[in-house]
């Protein structure tokens, strides 16, 4: 903080408008209502503590588990980014980015162009479009679609090594998820935390890869706080805004770091200060609503990227345990669809209510149909994006199998929900044999063991649908040996290989 002392003369409301003191009066007028806002007078200096962690984190000190977690986060996201890039929503964002004619070495997955890191981060934020990206359950943040575009674009621009990219990813996810866990849950009522909180993650990732010092990193976090945005109103009609939130969080976080690199200052109490991010956007006046400990516990020792959650199946999460159950049983026993007489599922009440449509009329509706999921498992042995088409919906074999599927609520499962998402499966074969299994949480949930081969397959499927199977295998291999990559901008050389 040395060097800031000289500014203490400005440390009053006067500095709002040195030439227009009316603001001073406004604050006086409103002093009493300030009480309704979060009391942060005893907050720890988390902006600085997080900045210090960002600066001090070194690849050499990371555990192999964390390194692998960062790799998985990257290749899972790259698959999402490539497939999302084929959507019209992503194309709209890419067209705005391309119109800039900006110069740089950062790849936009939607059009294969190279541009400045800011516009690449923005356009690649569209990686949410197919909604198969990661999520951190404790903070309700989709980290990958914000942290990965920023980290990759900065790393590509600076021709950073794979190790440096890993450092950026690790601190980026860590900062985003820590703040997301810490902020009052009431934040999520009005704010889309992937747009708001994840901005800090993008700033952290960019600051790390740029090599900013501790003060600069504080400024980046402070100016991330002043750019955090994203409200839920778009949900009413499902507007494209959702992708703007991730794209802008990525770009805004990066901009905060780019400015800090130029010496542009920001508040080093931007997160915890009395008019900082938490006080302003917690939606609560109760200091206990903020979990300060979540921001500092094991800081620099344990990294939140280890807790990242992934989605293996391209449908509503309420069906994921049942799909895992079915695919596991099918594989273990080599079950063919024509052997099956009946499929009986037990789930919690919420899942029953959500997945009860036994006759979905559209691919979108099919994403909420247990019967459709089960038929897909037994007939196609995978519930990827390719499962939700009109052809599949009309397929007589699918329709016939869907009639074999039934479900009911298990009250015990309902009691355990949402801590557990338990579901059980009973398959009765034509020969009278009955096979059964059960699961508590979907594969991909951080509390379960990650079935790495399944994630590799997901990434290969997604990337392969855009660049072909051979290229996809090469890309996956590169990202799975990221510490050996000397210049990450080479990984996607030639993309999209047209």
Residue 67 or 345: the one with the smaller Cβ distance to its own copies is 345
- Rank residues 361 and 477 by Cβ distance to its own copies and give the closer one: 361
Q: Which of 228, 232, 207, 209 is nearest to 218 (CA)?
A: 207
Residue 139 to residue 174: CA distance in whole angstroms: 11
At CB < 8 A and 24+ separation, what contacts does 477-480 make? 479/71, 479/74, 479/75, 479/78, 480/71, 480/75, 480/456
Measuring CA to CA, how many Å separate 54 from each of 49, 153, 172, 212, 453? 9, 18, 8, 9, 31
By the 10 Å C-beta count (0-12 exposed, 13-18 middle, 19+ buried), 406 is classed as middle
CB-CB contact of 315 with 351 (8 Å): no
The size of the interface with its own copies (CB under 8 A), counted in residues, is 112
Residues 46 to 75 in contact with its own copies, rule: CB under 8 A: none
* 237 is a contact residue toward its own copies (CB under 8 A): yes
Stretch that binds its own copies, among 3-11, 158-166, 400-408, 430-438 (CB under 8 A): 3-11
273 lies in the binding site for its own copies (CB under 8 A) = yes
Structural Rg of the chain based on CA atoms: 24
Of 36 and 42, which has the nearer Cβ to its own copies? 36
Which C-beta is closer to its own copies: that of 223 or that of 322? 223
Binds its own copies by CB under 8 A, chosen from 262, 431, 449, 493: 262
Q: Which two tokens stand for residue 98?
A: 């391309």
Binder among 334, 418, 432, 453 for its own copies (CB under 8 A) = 418
Minimum separation from the CB atom of position 493 to its own copies (A)? 21
For its own copies, give the closer residue by CB, 215 or 485.
Answer: 215
Part of the chain binding its own copies (CB under 8 A), chosen from 99-107, 159-167, 324-332, 483-491:
99-107
Number of Cβ within a 10 Å radius of residue 453: 8
Restricting to residues 9-28, which ones interact with its own copies according to CB under 8 A? 9-11, 13-27
- The distance of closest approach from Cβ of residue 185 to its own copies in the complex, given in angstroms and rounded to an integer, is 7
Where in 121-150 is the site for its own copies (CB under 8 A)?
Answer: 131-132, 135, 137, 140
Exposed e or buried b for every residue in 247-269, given b needs 16+ CB within 10 A? bbbbbbbbbbbbbbbeeeebbbb
434-439 vs 106-107, strand pairing mode: unpaired
Considering the complex, state which of residue 271 and residue 485 has its C-beta at the smaller distance from its own copies: 271
Nearer to its own copies, 147 or 279 (CB): 279
Residue 410, phi-psi category: left (phi > 0), alpha (psi -120 to 50), beta (remainder): beta
Q: 204: closest CA among 27, 97, 51, 1?
A: 51
Among 86, 87, 186, 480, the residue binding its own copies under the rule CB under 8 A is 186
Among residues 39, 111, 214, 274, the one that binds its own copies under rule CB under 8 A: 274
Largest CA distance in the chain: 88
What residues numbered 192-221 form the site for its own copies, per CB under 8 A? 195, 219
Residue 132 or 166 having the CB closest to its own copies: 132
For the CB of residue 36, give the shortest distance to its own copies in the complex, in Å. 8
407 binds its own copies (CB under 8 A): no
Contacts (CB under 8 A) with its own copies, residues 290-349: 311, 313-318
Q: Encode burial over 481-495: b for 16+ CB neighbours within 10 A, e otherwise.
A: ebeebeebbebbeeb
Check residue 255 for interaction with its own copies (CB under 8 A). Answer: yes
Sorted by sequence, the CB contacts under 8 Å of residue 374 that are 6+ apart come out as 322, 326, 343, 345, 401, 402, 404, 405
Rama region for 230: left / alpha / beta (φ>0; ψ in -120 to 50; rest): left
Site for its own copies in 145-174 (CB under 8 A): none
From candidates 86, 87, 339, 354, binder to its own copies by CB under 8 A? 354
Short-list 81, 27, 280, 65, CA closest to 170: 65
Rule CB under 8 A: say whether 263 interacts with its own copies.
yes
89 interacts with its own copies by CB under 8 A: yes
Output 91 or 429, the one with its CB closest to its own copies.
91
Length of the chain: 498
Q: How far is the CB of 48 from its own copies (least distance, A)?
A: 13
Is 85 a binder of its own copies (CB under 8 A)?
A: no
Q: Closest approach of Cβ 313 to its own copies, in Å?
A: 8
By CB under 8 A, is residue 259 in contact with its own copies?
Answer: yes
Question: Which range, of 169-177, 207-215, 233-241, 389-397, touches its own copies by CB under 8 A?
Answer: 233-241
Q: Smaller CB distance to its own copies: residue 317 or 344?
A: 317
Q: CA-CA distances (angstroms) from residue 467 to 290, 474, 485?
A: 45, 11, 21
Q: Which is nearer to its own copies, 64 or 418 (CB)?
A: 418
Q: Is 264 in the site for its own copies (CB under 8 A)?
A: yes
CB closer to its own copies out of 409 and 428: 409
Q: How far apart are the first and last CA of the chain?
A: 52
């Amino acid at each position: 903080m040395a060097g800031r002392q000289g500014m203490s003369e400005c440390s009053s409301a006067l500095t709002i408008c040195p030439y227009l003191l009316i603001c001073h009066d406004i604050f006086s007028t409103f002093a009493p209502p300030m009480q309704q806002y979060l009391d942060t007078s005893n907050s720890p200096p988390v902006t600085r503590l997080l900045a210090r962690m960002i600066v001090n984190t070194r690849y050499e000190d990371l555990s192999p588990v964390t390194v692998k977690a960062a790799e998985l986060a990257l290749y899972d996201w790259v698959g999402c980014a490539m497939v999302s890039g084929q959507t019209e929503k992503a194309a709209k964002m890419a067209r705005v980015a391309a119109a800039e004619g900006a110069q740089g070495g950062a790849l936009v997955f939607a059009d294969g162009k190279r541009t400045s890191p800011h516009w690449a981060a923005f356009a690649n934020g569209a990686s949410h479009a197919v909604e198969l990206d990661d999520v951190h359950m404790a903070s309700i943040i989709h980290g990958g679609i914000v942290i990965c575009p920023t980290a990759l674009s900065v790393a590509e621009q600076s021709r950073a090594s794979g190790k440096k990219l890993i450092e950026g990813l690790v601190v980026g996810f860590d900062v985003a998820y820590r703040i997301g866990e810490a902020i009052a849950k009431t934040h999520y009522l009005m704010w889309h935390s992937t747009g708001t909180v994840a901005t800090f993650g993008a700033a952290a990732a960019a600051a790390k890869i740029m090599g900013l010092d501790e003060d600069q990193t504080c400024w980046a976090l402070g100016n991330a706080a002043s750019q955090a945005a994203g409200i839920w109103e778009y949900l009413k009609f499902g507007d494209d805004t959702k992708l703007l939130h991730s794209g802008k969080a990525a770009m805004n976080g990066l901009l905060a770091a780019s400015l800090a690199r130029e010496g542009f200052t920001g508040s080093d109490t931007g997160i915890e200060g009395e008019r900082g991010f938490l006080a302003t956007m917690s939606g609560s006046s109760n200091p206990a609503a903020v979990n300060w400990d979540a921001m500092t516990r094991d800081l620099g020792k344990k990294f939140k990227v280890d807790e990242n959650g992934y989605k293996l199946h391209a449908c509503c999460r309420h069906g994921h345990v049942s799909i895992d159950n079915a695919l596991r049983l099918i594989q273990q026993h080599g079950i063919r669809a024509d052997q099956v007489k009946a499929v009986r599922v037990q789930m919690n009440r919420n899942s029953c209510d959500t997945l009860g449509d036994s006759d979905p009329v559209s691919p979108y509706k099919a994403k909420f149909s247990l019967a459709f999921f089960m038929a897909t498992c037994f007939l196609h042995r995978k519930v990827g994006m390719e499962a939700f088409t009109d052809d599949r919906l009309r397929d007589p074999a699918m329709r016939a199998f869907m009639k074999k599927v039934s479900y009911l609520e298990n009250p015990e499962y309902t009691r355990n929900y949402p801590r557990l998402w338990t579901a059980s499966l009973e398959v009765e074969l034509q020969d009278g044999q009955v096979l059964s299994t059960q699961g508590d949480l979907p594969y991909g949930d951080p509390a379960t063991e990650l079935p790495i081969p399944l994630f590799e397959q997901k990434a290969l499927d997604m990337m392969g649908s855009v660049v072909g199977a051979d290229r996809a295998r090469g890309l996956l291999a590169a990202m799975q040996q990221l510490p050996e990559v000397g210049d990450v901008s080479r990984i996607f050389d030639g993309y999209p290989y047209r």
